[in-house]
Amino acid sequence: MQNDYILQPNVDLDGLTRSVKGYDQNDVACEINVVEEQPLTIFLNGQEIVTAMTIGDYPDYLALGFLKNQGMLGADENVLGIDYDEDLKIVVVRTDGQTIYEEKLKKKTRTSGCAVGTVFGDMMEGLENLVLPSAELRTSWLYHLSNVINQTPSLYLKAGAIHGTVLCDKDKPLVYMEDVGRHNAVDKIAGWIHMHNETVADKILYTTGRLTSEMVIKCALMGIPILVSRSGFTAWGVEIANQVGLTLIGRMRGQRFMCLAGKDRLIYDEK
């Protein structure tokens, strides 16, 4: 299938999957591919920020996108460089400015702190006055995107147990990232966007993960007006999408979907 990807999953790259031996239901020895999962510690200048579990590709995009999405890197700060130490599993984002991470870290200690925790207090910041751009979403694009993405060779098809996120332009998937954590995949997309100064006002974000409050907030703060998922919704995700005027499409399978917010952008050109 012809496609216009700028970046797509590199299924043959060493170190992203591993063949593991086991036994099936008939006691027959077999080997299956499983995805890797390793800690990556993100630093902002001299400050350790977080240790994330990741498959390990694109540590630079992940670190940059994570810091941007957490509001730890302002628009006025220049990123001088990003250094990745593969042995230590450390990535350092270097800037020229004074960062506000100390203030942010203080908040985190209070509102978060673990795998189930969320940066609730932080995440809702910036939503109040947010106005998402007007944009167009044609049903024909949705069907084409879903078709192309599902058939793209991926770690998901190779090994399973992984989430994918794709930045799309109309009916074209552009950048397809995967990770064991669904938020990592989105953060890697955000990192790519910032590194390449890509315009997002007319883009679509496609994710395999559920449309929870955190995912909706993240997409809105990135400035992308349309969020599509093959998975389902949570009530609060829908509520926030309505609040900020984000177009929310879920349960996208073949030529079926549900639109629960921002229907004004939707054009039914193919039914």
Evaluate whether 65 touches 36 at the Cβ level (below 8 Å).
no
Round to whole Å and give the CA distance between 115 and 112.
9
- Relative to beta strand 226-229, strand 247-253 is parallel
- Closest approach, Cβ 249 to its own copies, in A, equals 9
Round to whole Å and give the CA distance between 222 and 176.
17
Evaluate whether 19 touches 33 at the Cβ level (below 8 Å).
yes
What phi and psi values does residue 259 have, to the nearest 5 degrees? -110, 115
Token pair 């147990």 in the structure block, residue:
161
Evaluate whether 99 touches 80 at the Cβ level (below 8 Å).
no
- Closest approach, Cβ 111 to its own copies, in A, equals 5
Q: Please identify, using beta-carbon distances, which residue of 50 and 130 lies nearer to its own copies.
A: 50
Q: Please identify, using beta-carbon distances, which residue of 4 and 270 lies nearer to its own copies.
A: 270
What phi and psi values does residue 210 have, to the nearest 5 degrees? -70, 155
Per-residue tokens: 164: 């994918």
> Residue type at 228?
V
- Closest approach, Cβ 94 to its own copies, in A, equals 20
Q: Please identify, using beta-carbon distances, which residue of 128 and 256 lies nearer to its own copies.
A: 256
- Closest approach, Cβ 67 to its own copies, in A, equals 11
Q: Please identify, using beta-carbon distances, which residue of 3 and 51 lies nearer to its own copies.
A: 51
Size (the chain), residues: 271
- Closest approach, Cβ 70 to its own copies, in A, equals 6
- Closest approach, Cβ 37 to its own copies, in A, equals 4
Round to whole Å and give the CA distance between 169 and 71.
25
Q: Please identify, using beta-carbon distances, which residue of 95 and 234 lies nearer to its own copies.
A: 234
Q: Please identify, using beta-carbon distances, which residue of 4 and 120 lies nearer to its own copies.
A: 120
